Amino acid sequence: MIAPCTCPTDPHRRELKTHGSLAFPAACYENTAQTLPVPWHWHDELELSITERGSVAVHIGAETFRMEQGEGCFINAGVLHAFEQAGTLDATEHAVVFHPRLVGGSMDSVFWQKYVLPLTSDRSLTGFFLRETVSWQKELLSGIRQAWEICAYEQPDYEIAARDALSRCTAILCRRQAAQTVRPSEKAIRQNERMKAMLSYIEQHFWETVTVRQIAGSACISESECMRCFRRTIGMAPVAYLNSYRLQCAADLLRNTQLAVGAVACRCGFQEMSYFARAFRRVYGCTPSAYRNARAAADL
């Protein structure tokens, strides 16, 4: 079953969504032009993603990769990441998100100790970008597509088949993790933790007046270091990200509620309607009202 692609998070940007169920902790998702971008977040699960149409930009920590059709990525547990459409062609991205216990079983099992723990305990391993031109990556991409289709269509005994496909994907990742020679520095790892704290603060206060000093204070760093962290990780200044996040929240409210446009602007931290309308048009190419009408027509 394809789950709806929403991304609620707690005050630390940790995703709150349950992926699958306690009995079968895995779920598949489909991101399209209607659900992209997916804002920055992290979760305890492993994530495997593949682009089926168009181009998708994936941000994993401080790295950005443009996934063209047939390319994908692996994102490790606890790593900040985000997705957005790249290019003009409407994109389609498929993701499988699963808890390590699905393939590892109990923590004293050989599956957990030999295959899961080396991945999840390696704080320097944020993920891999995957291309079909590399043999082991092509094999993994095939496994991702198979696992997604199994979870999406839920044929008889799909749980066993999905666990088998995800176990083989995990084994490939574990082999590559052991061979990886380039490791992020402690500084990069520390920056990832600081970004989690600062993005958390923005999500919890975005409708208020927020300053760079407040954002920096949430991670106990200086304003200049805050600026550097945002530039290195997200590629934009803190205030620019704040406004971008506000607009994403506004677009979500326009799609999924009947709130008046003025109320949407207010809830998302925009005090002037004219500024909100200009900023929204600059990003989405139309007025907030036109955006709502177009999305409603597309759902008919």
7 is in which domain, residue-wise? 2-179
Contact 81, 75 (CB under 8 A): yes
**171 and 221 both lie in a single domain:** no
**207 and 132 both lie in a single domain:** no
**76 and 127 both lie in a single domain:** yes
**241 and 155 both lie in a single domain:** no
Domain count, the chain: 2
Q: How many residues does the chain have?
A: 300
Show the CA angle centred on residue 123, arms to residues 131 and 151, nearest 5°: 50
**147 and 238 both lie in a single domain:** no
pLDDT at residue 269, as a whole number:
94
- Which of 10-14, 93-97, 229-233, 282-286 has the highest average model confidence (pLDDT)? 93-97
pLDDT tens readout for residues 85-112: 887 778 999 999 999 999 999 888 999 9
Q: Taking 60 as the threshold, does the pLDDT of residue 5 lie above it?
A: no
Percent helix, strand and coil across the chain, each rounded to 5? 50, 20, 35
Share of the chain above pLDDT 90, in %: 60
Could you give the angle at which helices 273-284 and 288-298 cross, rounded to 10 degrees? 50
**127 and 65 both lie in a single domain:** yes
User: Half-sphere exposure (CA, 13 Å, Cβ side) for 12?
Assistant: 9
pLDDT tens readout for residues 264-288: 999 999 989 999 999 999 988 899 9
Bridge-based pairing state of the strands 26-31 and 2-3: parallel
**51 and 145 both lie in a single domain:** yes
- Whichever domain contains 121, its CATH number is 2.60.120.280
β partners of residue 59: 64, 82
**7 and 105 both lie in a single domain:** yes
Average pLDDT over residues 142-167: 94
Out of 129, 163, 179, pick the residue that ends a domain.
Answer: 179
Give the model's confidence band at 17: pLDDT under 50 very low, under 70 low, under 90 confident, else very high: low
Taking the C-alpha atoms of residue 244 and residue 203, their distance in angstroms, rounded to an integer, is 12
Between 14-18, 101-105, 175-179, 233-237, the lowest mean confidence (pLDDT) is in: 14-18
**75 and 223 both lie in a single domain:** no
Out of 160, 179, 198, pick the residue that ends a domain.
Answer: 179
pLDDT at residue 63, as a whole number:
84
**33 and 129 both lie in a single domain:** yes
**139 and 27 both lie in a single domain:** yes
The order of strands in the sheet holding 63-67 is 38-41, 81-86, 55-60, 63-67
pTM reported for the whole predicted model: 0.73
The token pair at 249 is 């929240």
- Whichever domain contains 288, its CATH number is 1.10.10.60
**163 and 200 both lie in a single domain:** no
Could you give the angle at which helices 288-298 and 238-256 cross, rounded to 10 degrees? 50
Average pLDDT over residues 228-236: 87
Out of 149, 179, 209, pick the residue that ends a domain.
Answer: 179
